[in-house]
Each structure stands twice: as C-alpha cells, then as structure tokens.
Chain A
C-alpha cells in the first residue's frame, strides 16, 4: 500500500500539473476517472465474495405495520376475541390493555407457495412466489426513535452509521452521477430525524442523500444561473483559478479530489432531472405503478424512481412510506382498520409493480428488496372500540419480507406463537437481517469494520447470524 502511494506521488511530482491538470483537461476522460478513484470514496471496491445482489431497495414502513393483519394470520385471536392475553407479557411491553383482538381482515392463501396474505394487499399477494416472508422478526426496542435507529444502524442510540452508509462504504457505488445511498422521501421523515440515514462515524461521503418529491428533489442541485452557459463559463473560470492553485500548492490529492468533485456535482445537476423524467416510460409502466391514480401516485412514482436508480447503479435506495391525510404513519394506536387500509392502498400496487417491473427488466435477481417497519404491533387491542381499536408497538415477533437478490422464492419462514406475540420458530433478530443483507451483497458482516472509539465497529456490533435458510 505505501509503495503504491509512493509511486503515485512520485508520478504526480514529475507531472507538470499533477493529476489535477489531467482532470481539468477533459471532463470525462477515463484517465482522470481512474486517477480519481484513488481519492474517490465512491470508487467500486471488491466484495469479500461473489455477491448475489448489486443494489438494495429498502421499503421502510415507518411506525410499525401490523403483522397480524397483513402477513401472519392468527385464528386464535379471532376465536378468543376480547379475552385476556393468556401469556406472560414482556417487561418493557407497552400495551396496558391485554385483550386479544382478532384481525378484522380476511386472509387467503396465494401463489404456488400458498402464503397467507390479507385482503389489504391484493397486488402484493400476486408476488408471493418471488418473496421470502419472515414471520419471526425480533427487535430490541419498543419505541419509534430507538427502534428506527436500531433497524437502520444496529444501535438504538443516535449517531451510528445507517445500513446504506455501511454498504456504500463497503462497496462504493457504480453510479458516477449520483450518490451511492439515496433516501426517497415522499413526505415522512421517521422519528429520529435524518440521523436515521446518517453516516455516523463513517466519512460524510456515505451519508444518505435525501430525494424529496417536487421539482427540485435534492438541496442545491438546481443551478441558479440564467443559462447553463453562464454556469459553465463560471466553472471554467474556477477551473483556471484551480489550475493556478495546484501550481502554487504543488500536487495535493485533496484539492484534486475537490476539483473532480465539482464535475460530479455539475453532472448531478442534469442527472437528477433526467432521473425524474418519466417521458420515456411507457403508458403500461405508468399504469402498472399506479401513477396518476389518487391513492398510488405518490408511492408509485417513488418506486419507479427506485427502479431507475437501480438501472443507474445506485447502491442503496431507501423508500419512506408516503404521507397520507389523517393517518399517522403505520402507527395505528387507534382506528387501525382505517389507517391500515389507507396505507396499504397507497403502497400495495406500487410495490407489486416494482417487483414485476424489476423482473421484466432482468434486474430483480441483482436487486435485494426488503420490506418492513421498526417493529410490528400487539395482537391485543388498544383504545376504545367505538373510536376503532388500534394496536400498540410490538418488537417481540413481527413480519418483514425480502425478495430478489438471491433470496429464496415463495418461502414463508419462521413463526410466531398462536397469538402472534413471540417469535418462536427460526427467530430472526434485526442483527441477523443486517448480516443477511450484507451477505447477499458479498460482504462478510464480521469483516466490514471501521475503527472508531478504540475498536473496530460493525453494523452488527458483536452479533448477527446469516439467515441461510432464506437464501436461494
């Protein structure tokens, strides 16, 4: 390593203007790009072993979607509706009401695999043969903020790197014109704020970039110039000045990196609008995603953008659930029937479209989809019946699903007890999920480390077992 550096430095020393001069000579010259890789934090790095997936799409359903109403039917809840929960509750459990509440939604078996999906998700139900539905998830936190940090960073406290940051740190990004970790925000930043997508102690290069809906999805990505020529002229002058700086300062890799960084930023200005320009998408595609339909337009667009990002090589894409009028995220403490129905309507069709569309583009195999919230909800009811029952936070057993990216197709994995309370079979802890996601990307979760605070830190801390049973 030092030798490599030395020779490069020596080379630069002999070159009249160092690499910066080269970079300036031609905007997109391959030489410059290759040289930039030496200082480019996003340069593609070799995985530990052959990966199954290149990109991840994390469909994060903030608030805690109810597993017993969507993927994990529990007839006993209905049969003993109103009875007191007959098992010992966890000490940190939240719901003071202990009365069982049967799901008001009907379940049916779907696909070849015969997975149970409730009537809330008619479109997704057609995709079960592509999915592994994990019914035995466990998390460590009962409240949103800590739960969100935990689901993203493997730690319940603020300031640790988010999954997307770890992944781009580990692998870099194949996309030259966009950041490696992008969060598509359709209106709801989860409790915990943007720190949920923080790069923590990793370099700032790996923090999640927020894409918002609207004309200008990224802060400061729109030029304020009257015309592109005006900006180009300005940047050309900057380039001239920077050439002089390099002459005076000598070759400085940090300055060279900053110079090429301007070119990436410049390209982003056109790449981002292009990414959001659906004019070349077919009418059938728009229809598939439910674009221009009232319920699904928002999330449909987000899902389509996600597919377009995958095509461009963005490494980690996180979709936040859409903001719906009169619904507080997936956090149905009361009136669950209404809230869950609205949320499912908004996301069901677009998510099914995403799976099908990725498949038809031949991208599903290399794209790992992960769906879920920071926890599930209690099998017991909360609130008053006349205002509509809800359910409370519940991390002791809940459902997430994965698809594509080398995940087993048509599998229902793990189980909760008869009440949907405790995960009892093939338990999958959040750390295990993280280990598995990294594994599919070709990363050994025990080897992806970063030195901080006196030790080598990991996404999975000192935990994590790969859930091999769900791998294809």
Chain B
C-alpha cells in the first residue's frame, strides 16, 4: 500500500491536492520534528537556514539552497539527511529512518509542493549587534579601573592595597588571615617562586642574620635581580607559547633555532621589558618600529619574539595541505587569544561562539591576519655587523678577482691539451661503467695529462649526453658508436640541434603546453621579490665564480651563489613569497656540496618548496655541475607554498640558477639553449670523424678565451673550459712571480675568512602576501563562504571600522591587544602572575575569562591591579614586588581554624596553599643540592636523555643523563620525546596555551624518584660532597637537611638518620664502600621525602 502511494507520488501523477496531502502527512511532520529545533524563525536558524517556510527552504542558508524543486540531487536537504557527505550530516543526533528520507526525496521529486506561505524575514543579521551588546555585559568585557581602598578594621595587617581588598573579603565573614609565615618558610617560598631553585645555605644564613626591617624587601629585590628569575618565569611563559623545538607528528622534525625564542623570553623577563612591548614583539616583532637591539647592540632582538607563532605542531606527510594550513592557523588563533586575551576564540571556527560574543566572521578576520606571514630563519645581524661582514667579504672578493685574473691568464695551457682530454674522455664517457682511478691514471700518464682533470672531463661528458643544452651535448652524443656513419649521425645531430633551437624560442607552441611558471631567474631579475637573510648570498646575484669554487655548466650569467660571500663559511637563506603552486612539476637548476641530512630534517644545503605539511626537496649532488633537478608536486599541487634556498652550514655552499614550475616533466629550455658560436661550429665542421669535431671544439674555445671583451656566448664558452674543477685546483703552470703572488693572496684570503663574524639566525615569522580568508562553513576548508576583511574581534574593537590595512595587519593587531582600552590584556597577565605566587588565580581559569570560565574571586582587586600595572609601565618586576611585599603573600599555609572551616576552597585567600614543585624544579633542586648544577645561561639546548622506554619515529640521539647539569629549561623540548620526569609531573601539552598545569599523582612519580638512574646518581654525588664538607656525621646530617629542606634537622630526625645509616651499613656487611653507600642512601631518602617537592 505504502509502496503504491510512493511510486505514484514519484511519478508526478498525483493531483495537486494529493500532493499537498502528501506534504502535510509525510513531509511537514518530519521537518517539524526533526529540523525546526535548529532551523526555524523561532530558533537559531543555524547556518542561516530556516526550513519553516517554503521560500526560506528554497533560499537556503550559508551553504546554498536547501530544496531545489524536482532536483533531489541538487537539494542540500537531501544530501544532509542521506549522510553521504561527511561535511553535512543532518540531523546531527542520528540518521533519519530510511522511510522518512524516502518521503523527503519523493516530495522534492514531485516539485516540492509546499503551502507554507509566511514571508521570509531577512536572516538575523541584527543578531550580531544583539550578541555584542549582550556580550558587553559580561564582566571581562567591561573596562577595568582602579577601585578606592575598601575600609578595613585591621589596618595594621595591610602592607599595601592588595591586603585591603583581601582583608575586606575576610572581615565581611568575620574571618582572619593566617598568621605570618616564618623566615625559613618565606625564603624557601620566595626562592622557588622567583627563581625555581632552593635557597643556598649561605643565602638562608644571610637572611636570618639580617634583622633589619628591610630584610624581607631586600631579599625580594635580590631574587628579582637574579638571572635565574628570568629562567623561572620564562618557563611559565613557554607553557603559554606551547614551546617545543620539534614539529611533533610523525617524524618530529627539528625546528632550527627555536631555542633562540626561549633565550629571548629569558632576556626580556630579566631586563623587565615592558609587557606591552613584549606582546608587540611576539605578534609583530618583524615590523614594529623601532626595532629593539640586544643590549650591547650586536644583534636585533624584536623579531625573535615572532617565533611565538612558529612553535606549534607541524603535520608532515599530510594528504590534504589546505586542511593542515587551516589547522595550523587555528592553533595560532587559539594560542594567541588564550595567551594574551584569556579567550577561547578558536571555538568560533565552525560556528559563532556558543557562549562568548565572538562570531565566525571574527574568527576568520583574525585568522586572516595570521595567514599573511611565513615562517623563516631570520638573520639577526645589525647593520654594523653586516657592514663589518661586507667589508671583510670585499677584501676576500678583491683577492679572488686578482687570483682569477692570474689563473685565467693561463687558460691557454688548458686549451693546448684540450683535444687530448676530450678524445680520451669521450671514449670513456660512452661506456657503461666509469673507469677505475688506476685506469684513469694509467691513461692520463700515457698522454702526459692530469688524472684528476681527465676524470672530471669524463664526468662532465657523461652529464652532457643527457642535457641537450650542454656545450658538449653534440660531442657526447656523437661519441657513441652507432650503425650509421659519423657524417650521417652528424647530419642528424644538426637537425636535432636545429629542432632544439626552434623549441628554445619562447613563442614555440611547446611552451604553451609546458605552461612554465618561472619562479626564479636570477640572471634576469636578481633577488627582486626574494627575502635575503644572512651574508652567504652577498646581497646580489652575481656571475662571478671564485677560483676556489667548483661550478661547471655555468654560462657566465648571474646566479644565486652562497659561495660568494665568504667561500664555504657563509650561511644564509633566500625565501620567496608564498604563491599558488599550480603546476605539476618543479625544476631547479642547481649545484653545490651534497647534503646528507635526512629528508625528514631541515637540510643544510637545499632548495625546498615549503608547503603545509609537505616539502619538495632539491639537493645538489656535490659534483660541482649545475644540473636540473625535477620533482613532481604530488599532494602540493594547487596548494600554497613558498621556496626556501638554504645554506645553513659553515662548510659548504649551494648555487642556484633557475627555478621553474611546469606542467612538463622535462626541464625547461626556453630562451637559453642557443649558443650561436657552438651552432655555427657544428654547422661548419667538415667532420669526417670525431677527431675533427674535437678540433673544432678546441678552436671554438681558444677563440672565446682570446676575447678581450667577452659577450654572453663567449663567457659561456670560457666557463665551460674547466669541468668540475676549480681554477685554483687546475694543474696550471704559473710563473715564479705569479706563484708568489697567488700564495700571498690565498693566505690573506684565508686570514680574512677567519675573521668573518658568524651570522646569528632565529626562527621567526615575517610578512608574506596579505590575504583575506573566506569563512570555512562548519569549519571545513572544503566549504568556503564569504570573504572576511582582516581585523580584530568586534567585541574588543573600539572604532567603527576596525579593518586592518597595513600589510597583514599584525602590527595593528598588536596595538589593539596592548591598548589600555582593551579590557582583557592587563587583567589576564596580572592574573597569571597572581596565580603563580598565590597558587590560584583571582580568576581560577587563567586561560579563559569568557562565560565558561570562572568569575574572579576578588573582581575589584583584579581591576585595581590591572590599572596599577598599566600605570606602572607594564613592569612585571614592579608587579611581583607589589604582590610579594603584601602581607597576604607572607601568610602561613596553615590558616586560622575558623577560616579553614568557613573557606575550605580558600577562595577568600585566608592562607597560602601548599604546592608541589613542577618536574623541572624538582630536577633543578636535585642538581642544586647535589652540587651538579651548572648555572650557565642561554644557548642551544642540551639533547634530552632518551631512555629505552621512549620510542617512535624521529627518535633522537640521547643526550647525557644529567643534562650536563644545566637547568631544566635548557633541556631540548622534542614534542614526541618529552623527558619522562617532566611528563610524570604534569608537564604541559605542547599543543596549546596552558596557564595552569595539573598536579596529578601517578605511580611513575614515585617510581622515578625511587629507582631512576639520574636520581640515584645525583644522590651519590650529594653524599660525596656532603662528606667532604663535614666529616662529623651529625654535622653532616644537619648540613644535608638544611640544603634539602632549608631548615634545621630536628633532633629526632638526626637520631633516626644515624640509626638508618648504621643499619644500612650493617646490611652491606664487609663491602668496602658500605659507609659511603649508606650516606648515598640517606641522600636518596631525602630526595624522596615529600618535603623536598612540596613548598608551603
């Protein structure tokens, strides 16, 4: 029965009334019960779609028409309910029963008859304004201001305004703050709080001895001045920046120079860089004015902050690069907004934020700003350093020019012997296998030739036979014996060359098919459009080749050559802007030293097409011959990418001539093939044999060498003379005077080279092509909506039109964030600092000030602190001082009994909570106590110790067990190989901002402190040190308790320890080291006591 009805309906044979009946009976109930909850005027019109009137359903929402009458396949409604498209499945709670889907299909096929007449009201564009005005009511979006001091009874207790606000809260409930903590508790609390290290016994003694009223204040100032303060607070910041030095994901690729960001943060914090400037530099440090220099002036500093964006996870080997790009941007939006604004803007990626006044348009306006940058290695050398480097480079270059003149003057010698070399070499080159060195030596000696040069010629002719635009292509091809006679083959060659010559014309149809996109032609355009970092490429493309350098196939035209600046010592990068890689192949003509780095790691010498989640890599083979390398784009096709030419080693170079993207797998020839003189020679050779051709070559090259003012063709011929052998290495006979001069020049050159300053690089983000993004509907990069102009979150914008127009807009973004009118920035950082000193923030969700976060326990205090902070020049050190000098900070951890019962969560802050140290601080404390701590600041990371329990791809070579005694912040952060000690103690995920670490209890914490080799060895080192310092056992025990816990040992503890030592000694019996081992056991036990890792 049902079937009959359906088939009749589908056939369109039902009369109009029956059609309406069908709608009423079968369609309207489905729409009403399954769809209206989200898609009707009364509800959200989710995705801009309403299904409650005929017109609205046909007009559709953001994705387009939902119902196309008579066209089931074009109707999004049907696609959604069929669940075939993963991007749109409706209703989200589960697929409809098949019969309901069939009914909807039938209805659409019959023309979607629909009596629902109500006119469509324009979709709620008003709602954004409504959302904003509603949103402004939330406390965090209202401006902050300093509040007047509240009246309190116990005015004696208050040291500064913080205490007034706190005490007001307590007194309202008739509660009292905890008593003041003792001096020993305070110095330990302060020392770990500010420097992450335990106080030394000397520091404790000094503090105890200072009975002046200022003793505490002096201690605070001394600790704030310690360089270890910067290390401690930099680590807190790194939690927010999801800092890591590798990419994570599959291969855990290295991020070169990521540690420079860590050092930057330490320096900024130690120097008390105003926090607003600290923000500006991390968001736009590459473009703000003025650029800040490191104290002492040797390098730029501001740009280093921009690594902030580059520290996230990078997917590798991805299949959908646009998706990766969108995910990366999302992570940057997420980290940026959580870190600086305490907002979870990333929630608005797929739909308007459900709780906070942030729209999807806001999200893409902001994401667009961040999209307009690229991640590179920036050179930090200041102009003085650059010109110093350039001056030395010029000294080197002058000597190179003179040397080149001496050697080229002697070219005649080479030409004299040329026929002999070519004859022998062409014979070898056509064979299957290369001759042995012994064979070459024997053959060379017989003809009085240089074996090294002969070998080079053989190699060159081998390559020539594969490259039609090679000078020796005709020779190499004709040297192959064939069935035809030599004159016949020569005729064929002439025809082939003519053909190539025709194809070389850029107007030839073949080029249309090839569809070449020239990305780099350094001879024609120099470095225009490329970003240059470091001295290696000497600032300009040049045709000059140092007599030291091996580079054949060079045609005397300018190229990008990292040898120019300072021989192999130069380091540097050339970076293109991002472009759409819409050709199937990429061709790079390059030469240089070979690079054995794994393709998974950033190479030393390579050209890379850098995409999101994949690179195409081109490396020289070390032969010294410019050659085309080709790679298919694969998954990178039609994706955004940029090109990086990198020389990151002090012992090698790379030379790049041209870079072309093309739809052809063959390297390009256009415009470059023809050497008129060569063609003429081939045309005119009356060659009956290979010999006469070789003679022709010799004459051709001799003619070119004799040119006083060589033209382009002539230079090409001259450069071709020395295949893969540097001029200085070619066996030329110089006169005695020339020889002496050459030696002097070479010596001087070496001296200058040694004086070249090593360039400094840092991971950085810099301006790229600014781009607006389109809304990704439902968060899917496959479903693009309207374009959104770059700008800031509407709720935080101050003007009527807040679009960003300067470049990417990052500078404007930074200014919007640090604006004192921004209600969040100052509140958020003040709260973060508070959290670290007082255990919990005034807002206990420090990364989320939105509606899903907690409201402040002391809103007026928070606002007053924020206002005070801005008034005091955003100085973090002043803020610390203010908090630390409050009476509140100096409270004991044991609260007043009544307060403890009335305020169990300590929301009124009636006491200071006990806190467990982080894994890094535990390790640092162990090192400090054992005497192994190396207090050196800064520098490349120490490789982490990797145990056999850590495994997976990208496993690094393990570093030393004790990290060379360096503080934990200098242990390399490899995403996939985080140190287990840190991870067990709640190290933050290196994925997003973490303003509040967990404090979990897991058995591996205990297992590690009980059994880990590092802990056991440090205990032994400590025992050793303690033994030397105090021979008398009781005195030694007292010393050890003081180092470990910062307090005197109680008599009972000393007795227990003595007893323990005796028993352990006895258990070891006659063992020679029983005494020492017992002490090591005691040290180990102290490491394991809870007092070692819990601070009150």
Chain A residues within CB distance 8 Å of chain B? 2, 5-6, 9-10, 13, 39-41, 92, 94, 140-146, 157-159, 179, 185, 189-195, 198, 200-201, 203-205, 207, 209-210, 212, 218-224, 226-227, 229-231, 233-235, 237-238, 240-242, 244-245, 248-250, 252, 254-255, 257-259, 261-262, 264-266, 268-269, 427, 451, 453-455, 462-463, 465
Contact = CB atoms under 8 A, between A and B. Distances in A.
Contacts of B1094: 245, 249, 252, 254-255, 258
Nearest to B994: A201
A453 B1056 contact: no
Contacts of B320: 92, 142
B630 interface: no
A146 B315 contact: yes
Given A159-B991, A238-B1089, A192 B1011 contact: no
Contact of B1010 (A140, A143, A195, A265): A265
A143 B318 contact: yes
B992 A258 contact: no
A244 B1050 contact: yes
A230 B1053 contact: no
Contact of B1053 (A207, A221, A234, A241): A241
Given A229-B1067, A261-B1001, A264-B1006, A237 B1057 contact: yes
Interface stretch (B9-17, B436-444, B978-986): B978-986
Contact of A259 (B94, B980, B998, B1090): B1090
Contact of A140 (B83, B86, B343): B86
Contacts of A146: 315, 318
B948 interface: yes
Interface string B306-346: 00000001011111100000010000001000100001101
Given A145-B250, A241-B1085, A193 B1091 contact: no
B914 A249 contact: yes
A17 to B, nearest CB: 13
* Max chain A Cβ within 10 angstroms of own Cβ: one of B905, B986, B1004: B1004
B687 interface: no
A198 B1084 CA distance: 30
25 contacts: A13-B897, A94-B319, A141-B319, A143-B318, A144-B250, A158-B313, A204-B983, A204-B985, A219-B949, A221-B1011, A222-B1011, A223-B1010, A224-B1011, A224-B1013, A226-B1068, A238-B1088, A241-B1085, A255-B1094, A258-B1006, A258-B1093, A264-B1003, A453-B344, A454-B343, A455-B344, A455-B355
B951 A194 contact: yes
B1016 A204 contact: no
A195 B905 CA distance: 34
Contact of B1063 (A185, A233, A266): A233
Contacts of B953: 189, 191, 193
Interface stretch (B654-662, B814-822, B848-856): B848-856
B470 to A, nearest CB: 32
B1016 A245 contact: no
A142 B1089 CA distance: 49
Given A220-B1004, A245-B1094, A454-B853, A194 B1057 contact: no
Nearest to A157: B327
A303 to B, nearest CB: 21
A238 B1093 CA distance: 13
B1011 A453 contact: no
A455 B1003 contact: no
Contacts of A237: 1056-1057, 1060, 1082, 1085
B664 to A, nearest CB: 18
A261 B1090 CA distance: 11
Interface residues of B, number: 98
A220 B1002 contact: no
Contact of B313 (A159, A249, A463): A159
Nearest to A465: B94
B1064 to A, nearest CB: 6
Contacts of A204: 983-986, 998, 1000, 1002
Given A241-B1089, A254-B999, A234 B1084 contact: yes
A157 B314 CA distance: 10
B1000 A41 contact: yes
A231 B900 CA distance: 38
B1011 A220 contact: yes
Given A2-B905, A241-B1089, 6 more contacts: A157-B313, A204-B985, A219-B947, A237-B1056, A244-B1050, A257-B1001
Contacts of B1053: 240-241, 244
Nearest to B1016: A224
Contact of B1096 (A2, A145, A235, A249): A249
Nearest to A203: B1000
Contacts of B1010: 220, 223, 231, 235, 262, 265-266
B252 interface: yes
B139 to A, nearest CB: 16
Interface of B: 83, 86, 92, 94-95, 248-250, 252, 313, 315-320, 327, 334, 338, 343-344, 346-347, 354-356, 847-848, 850, 852-853, 893-894, 897, 900-901, 904-905, 914, 916, 947-954, 975-977, 980, 983-986, 989-992, 998-1008, 1010-1013, 1016, 1050, 1052-1053, 1056-1057, 1060, 1063-1064, 1067-1068, 1081-1082, 1084-1086, 1088-1091, 1093-1094, 1096
B852 A454 contact: yes
Contacts of A220: 1004, 1007-1008, 1010-1012
* Max chain B Cβ within 10 angstroms of own Cβ: one of A159, A205, A237: A237
A215 B1005 CA distance: 21
B1001 A41 contact: yes
Given A143-B318, A233-B1060, A245-B1094, A454 B1001 contact: no
Given A158-B991, A240-B1056, A455 B852 contact: yes
A254 B317 contact: no
* Max chain A Cβ within 10 angstroms of own Cβ: one of B893, B976, B1090: B1090
* Max chain B Cβ within 10 angstroms of own Cβ: one of A145, A198, A226: A145
A159 B1013 CA distance: 29
A218 B250 CA distance: 24
Given A143-B319, A158-B249, A462-B92, A255 B952 contact: no
B252 A241 contact: no
A195 B976 contact: yes
Contacts of B850: 454
Given A143-B317, A427-B83, A268 B976 contact: no
Nearest to B953: A191
Contacts of B848: 453-454
A261 B1056 contact: no
Contacts of B991: 157-159
A179 B853 contact: no
Nearest to A5: B904
B1090 A255 contact: yes
Nearest to B1060: A237
B1003 A261 contact: yes
* Max chain B Cβ within 10 angstroms of own Cβ: one of A157, A229, A242: A157
Nearest to A3: B904
Contact of A241 (B952, B1005, B1013, B1086): B1086
A454 B1081 contact: no
Given A220-B1008, A238-B1088, A159 B992 contact: yes
Contact of A454 (B355, B893, B905, B977): B355
Contacts of A258: 916, 1001, 1005-1006, 1090, 1093-1094
Contacts of A157: 313, 315, 327, 991
Instruction: Sort A-B residue pairs by CB-CB distance and give the 3 closest, nearest first.
Output: A454-B344, A159-B991, A265-B1006
B375 to A, nearest CB: 18
A250 B897 CA distance: 11
Nearest to B1050: A244
A252 B248 CA distance: 37
B1067 A233 contact: yes
A183 to B, nearest CB: 11
